[in-house]
Amino acid sequence: MNSHSFATGENPKNLSKYVFVLLTCLIGISLAIVFGLTARANSLKPGVPYYQTLLSGGFPSITDTVSVTLTPGISSSLVYTDAQGLPIILEFPPDAVTKTVTVTLIPDLLTSLPPNAIYGNKAFELLATRVGDLEKNFRFSAPVTTTMQYSDDDVQLIAEEESLHLYWWSGIGWWKAEQTCEPNSPFVHNETDNTIVTAICFPVQYALFATHSIYVPLLVR
């Protein structure tokens, strides 16, 4: 009986052990990928304001920034399209500024994320300048509608897509983007169209991320 079992196949207990080891390895690989990608976002060089680095001559050339000059009484828009062909659209109402100002969008300048955050693969910084000089503590006189579109690939590691949100960096922490305005702007997240729409009231650094659980794919027999 024993020799027959040895000749025809593995002992069922040994087979179960091999399956368990295989599943453990697969789970380990999945976790390594997830936390590796998260660590990549978290390990990015802490954000130094673009204008400071630019003035010091230490910033590499950026070819995909976009700018618009705002004039009081005239509505304008600013559109940045990423490598996936997905847009970030800023719509400035006629009363957004009280003096002529140039607003520049610089993509993908990301500071460290909170420990429980999963990056949504979208980040940008806005600068307001006048005659080449940075407008410090600048605020828009009226809310600027901001529309972002993301792909399914951008959120594939996020278990709860409804937790995806646009945040702004205060220098010491991340806050919801709609809180840049008083009163807070509406926030609309359409998971069917993969769009986020809100309004912002000052140019700072913004990033899209979720603050809940991570999706870890498992092999189910």
Is residue 18 included in any domain, yes or no? yes
Residues 59 and 111 in one domain: yes
Per-residue pLDDT tens digits for 52-110? 443 343 433 445 899 999 999 999 999 999 989 999 999 999 999 999 999 999 997 67
135's tokens: 């407008």
Q: Do 138 and 107 share a structural domain? A: yes
Same domain (yes/no): 132, 74: yes
Nearest C-alpha neighbor of 97 from the set 201, 219, 204:
201
Do 133 and 76 share a structural domain? yes
- The number of distinct structural domains making up the chain is 2
Model confidence, pTM: 0.69
Residues 101 and 27 in one domain: no
CA angle 146, 147, 152 (to 5 degrees): 145
**Alpha-carbon dihedral sign for residues 60, 47, 65, 97:** negative
